[in-house]
Structure 1
Amino acid sequence: MVSMKNLVGAVAICVISVLMYKNLSSTVSEIPRGTVILICGASSGIGEELAYQAAEKGAYLVLVARSEDKLLRVQEQALKKGAAAVEVISYDFSNVVGSSIVVNKTVERFGKLDYLVLNHAAFPLGPFLANQYMQEPSYIDRIFKVNFFSMIEIALHGLPHLEASSGHLFVTSSTFGEVPINYAMSLYCASKHALNGFFYSLQQELLAKKSPVSLTIGALGLIWTPDMESLWKDDSIPVDLIAGTMERAAKEMLDSYTTRPRTLTYPAFPNNFMRASWYFNPWYQESAVAQGDQDGYEAGLAKWEKKIEVARERRFSQGYSEVSSEQPSV
């Protein structure tokens, strides 16, 4: 049984987490019209929704993703919704060294950068020990190039321009960067842990040098985007209880430009509950395994193979580099 000490600790951490991580301001200022926003990972999901909400505020937008066709569709809709202007850049973030081009093109086009949103990510799925391709150094390197190294590179080149405008940097991380929620997402968790370690340290350095640039790390949980729905629709997931909406997540990210919290936790309750469980439940690992593999490890492998196939068909976790036909790409 969980001891009273652990129970009290869990409650305490939930309260502390809300105070530390959730923006409690009841009044949020409108983002100024004409704000220049660069969104990396803008062709679908939260990034697409963020583009539309920013467009309604009359922002100048630069939208980046791999798929030019998808970006052109988002561009068209954003202009209809009121964006002052929309530029699109098709870019593969596994090319880390050249990724600063998205910052350069933004400043060349609009003369400044106010808000930089690093929202792109590869989402590798599958148990690590059961999938040999995931153990290859080249595969792991590719995941980290997209999810970690490219973000550092873009942030580094964006900071001087954000300094000039007293701007804001938003980094989309995940609760998976704090808590190992499922062993079949080990590489994704690892990349988000790295992201948190670096950008929270950068946050400290910006404070130390009294930089006018503010930085928010987005600790996002399960957001019910079309891609996530395609993955989890056949599972017994209490969506209304544990998942956040794409629209609310994008609104919280847009509001972060004016409220500038150091961490944005959304959805707050399930994420803070997971934090508390991780730190205070001594049997967290056993309970996580039991929830994920109710019918045993081998049956779980079959389940994950189906999810990998869904991800491959929808192409939301592939395309960052050439890979052999025997392994799903990211």
Structure 2
Amino acid sequence: MSAFHIGLIINPLAGLGGAVGLKGSDGVAAEALARGAEPRAAARTRIALECLRPVTQRIEFLTFPGPMGGDLLAEMGFAHRVLGHLGDGTTSAADTREAVEALQAAGVALILFAGGDGTARDICSVVREGQPVLGIPAGVKIHSGVYAISPRAAGELARRLVEGGLVRLASGEVRDIDEAALRDGRVAARWYGELCVPEEGGFMQHVKQAGMESEELVLSDLAAWLEDSWEPDVRYVFGPGSTLHGLARNLGLETTLLGVDVIENGQVIGRDLGEQALFELVDGHPAFLLVTAIGGQGHIIGRGNQQISPRVLRAIGLDRLRVVATKRKLQTLEGRPLLVDSGDSALDDSFPDVVRVWAGYKEELLYPVGG
């Protein structure tokens, strides 16, 4: 039986900015590293590749050198060929585009790539129509519908392809934050194209959707409820996103749109925190964690809020996590569960079957959580 050829591209800079509060990695990798960020793309790719161990004899990888794939494949013992070269060992968007072109020329059946929306845009700009690709989520911004819901899901879906399972191909939208809109205080994702992606069951994430209703009244109600029920000397961690930013404004507090902030006794005591500073504020101190669900996708952990790391989650306690979401936003999930992708499989598996959702004044819902 001939080998199944998979092209592998890792963007080693993907996700660097998340844990240190930079909201992304595009153009700020050096600053993220200076703040103490640790590369995470290779670790997330490893999770995906572990799922391919049972079919390793049937696969040959093609990749680029060093941190773009060659190092990890050699370390894990997968058969692979290295194409291209990296001049000084650093990587760029141009290297990603060059890798895509080289892998296509070599005739790979699937391009497996690790990154975020910027990486997806780079791939979309040069990929041939009909070339199957599959994203391993490793970035901070992941609005695009070309990524699996987790690294493990990407590996399982790739394995199904190798084993000859019936996997439907579909078009996945590539989206990235509109920076002009962001400067105006709005989070909006622009469309950049579509990629051909394998689609099966619950493996692939949906494109992030903007809210279809004004949340103003709901957020006003929630703010009134929260003002009535603040627990003294308890720290409330507000995750990123327009929902929680709007909730804070209704409370008369100024938080950061895409950052993580901490409120105690009705005052902001930490603004736009990185992972280390956030951990120091919640470690050993009673706290609640407020996050929102990404409309259309359902992720509550692991998309744009990497500051909320596994150790932060453990310090706060999963029983003190609350999701803030309107019923309309939950309806965009069409019955699919909320999703967590913290990067710690044991922690993800320990999440409760359902979480509490704050959806209005004194209105709590229970909503299922999946993997």
Determine if the TM-score, normalized by the shorter chain, exceeds 0.5. Answer: no
| Higher strand fraction (1 or 2) | 2
Greater share of helix residues, 1 or 2? 1
TM-score by length of 2: 0.35
Give the TM-score normalised by the residue count of structure 1: 0.38
Q: Which structure is higher in RCO with an 8 Å CA cutoff and minimum separation 6?
A: 1
